[in-house]
Amino acid sequence: MILHNTQSFNFTNDTSTQKLNLKLPFVEHFEELKQRSIHLMLFFILCSSLAFFDLNPIVEFLEMPAKNIKFFQPAPGDYFLETIKIAVYIGLIGSIIPSLSQFLLFIIPGLTPQEQKWVLPLILGSTFLFFISLIFSYICLVPAALNFFLLYNQNIIEPLWSFSQYCDFILIIFYTTGIAFQIPILQVFLGVRGIISVTQMIELWRYVILVAFIVSAVLTPSTDPITQIFLSGAILGLYLLGVSILKFLKYE
């Protein structure tokens, strides 16, 4: 009877130890995730604070596409609130690369060698395409949309715009275009996983053209056709880029 109790006690103790051992890695991962999140939050606050206290060059940079336009603020604190919003956006953009590096350092140890081979190029490619989308938006989409609206009401209405609404307009263009520019990353992921082949992607070209125009109409905050044509053309080009990458990697 004593031996039976001892064995029961040992069995229970071993089970508790096993449960404890199973829980320890999760606790360690959670603690690591918390530390990395705190570091990223501090970096985001630092970037946003630096941008806020030296915001005039950024505001002038954002105003450059709208030449000869006078801005006004409908309320006393409107410009102040908008500068805070701009600083937050700048902090988010500035935190992209540190966030991705922390994300990679967190997940890579738990990935297989095959997964590790793809995760870094995909994340770096996604970051590169996002910053390219910002340049494309600033150089092509924003001026095209603004020029369309200026020419449309030329000699009829004096262009006097709200600075807050203008910033919201171009910031939405920046981030929606950044989402659209992730198409090649999605294609490579689907192709590598064998979900869809390059041949199938090419066969769907008619539907891709239709979807490109629909997506551009949804993503662009303006309703002008010029911006939608530019963005739909970029989407088609990105789709062909994804197909070309898969063919180069020989994922037929």
pLDDT tens-digit profile of 65-114? 887 788 888 888 888 888 899 999 888 888 887 877 777 777 777 777 77
Q: Collect all residues with Cβ–Cβ distance below 8 Å to 150 and sequence separation of at least 6.
A: 69, 159
Mean pLDDT of 194-205: 85
> Which tokens hold the place of 144?
């095209």
* Alpha helix stretches (DSSP H) within the chain: 2-53, 56-63, 78-94, 96-107, 113-136, 142-152, 163-180, 183-192, 198-203, 205-219, 225-248
**How high is the pLDDT of residue 252?**
67
Q: Is the pLDDT of residue 115 over 80?
A: no
20 vs 155, more confident: 155
Whole-number mean pLDDT of the chain?
Answer: 79
Question: Which pLDDT score, from 0 to 100, does residue 136 have?
Answer: 92
Banded pLDDT at 237 (limits 50, 70, 90): very high
In contact, 183 and 216? CB cutoff 8 Å:
no
Please say if the pLDDT value at position 53 is more than 50: yes
